[in-house]
Amino acid sequence: MTIRVTGTGSALPEKKVTNFDLEKLVETSDEWIQKRTGIAERRVSGGETVSSLAAEACKKALELAGKNAEEVDLIVVATCSPEFLLPCCACQVQDLIGASRAAAFDLNAACSGFLFALDTVYAYLHSGIYQNALIVGSEVLSKLVDWKDRGTCILFGDGAGAAFVEASAEDIVRDNGRKAGIECMLQGSDGAKGMVLSCEERAVNNAFMPKQPTENPYVRMDGQEVYKFATKQVPACIQETLGKAGMIVNDVDWFILHQANVRIIESVAKRLKADIAKFPMNIHQVGNMSSATIPVLLDECNRAGRIKEGDRLVLSGFGAGLTYGASVLVW
């Protein structure tokens, strides 16, 4: 059975916030931010929501796949910043795009969310339960950021990316002899280190217990610990995933990585002994959009024609939890 991505889409808020804009809010500078992160600007919601961005990205993915919403079997939205606890964002997206036949649910693995959703959908499709699915990573992180904390507010942006995935009983062999579709995947978690990147929800507070102190509703991060985890775990995860598939780094044409920090991406490339030219980046323009980074970058590369049929891709990233994952696929 072939399970492959047949359409991609993305959506970004209209408002751009540059490093020079942030200089007016916190003690920082464009030079300082770019040197440490590679970020020059990011998109910030001016009213766009997680569900509206997700729906726009889904519509574009369906259009590219040549499908309509009524044909969708399953919608999985990866997000850590929904507007509502109930209903889930995926059900809102279902309504917004008119996918009345689809089952829908959310998934939260933070920045690894799109990868975890892709693996989940693969299991559904491979088992024959569904024939296709929309996978979306969508975030409005600007509402979770303390805009007085220069350690975090410089990093994050808002946006959504989507992929339409289909199952086929027939193998699709590309001109270079590679069979199209998802070849291998791996995901993992290290909960013992989870609090190095956190954001509190509402505290337990009811009529039968003393009033609790006001919670801190903003993202908190130990940047050094996150950096050490990412630069060690991501290349190890990629190597393990390729090994499971009987491949090596040189078999890969493109590494589509979570866009958290340019220095992390450069470190991963160095540890893999891979050409940095194989690591496309858009962090300069959009920052870290958590679960949306990988699908947005994938859509950009797809629409720009950088990814060709038969190219082998590695999608990989890490996130709060701590979580990590990688998927190998042929376009």
Catalytic one of 88, 111, 153, 199: 111
Q: Quick check: is 153 catalytic? A: no
> What is the spatial distance between Cα 177 and Cα 204, in angstroms, rounded to a whole number?
57
DSSP bridge partners of 121: none
Contacts 24+ apart (CB under 8 A), 239-244: 239/272, 240/186, 240/326, 241/184, 241/185, 241/186, 241/314, 241/316, 241/326, 241/327, 241/328, 242/184, 242/314, 242/328, 244/184, 244/186
Catalytic one of 19, 89, 91, 258: 258
* Beta carbons within 10 angstroms of residue 64's beta carbon: 19
DSSP element (H, E) containing 314: strand 312-319
Q: Which two tokens stand for residue 284?
A: 């300069």
* Beta carbons within 10 angstroms of residue 81's beta carbon: 24
Q: Quick check: is 80 catalytic? A: no
Catalytic one of 19, 261, 288, 302: 288
DSSP secondary structure of 279-311 = S---HHHH-B-GGGHHHHHHHHHHHTT-S-TT-
How far lies 263's CA from each of 20, 177, 227, 314, 315, in Å?
Answer: 21, 35, 9, 19, 18
Catalytic residues: 111, 258, 288
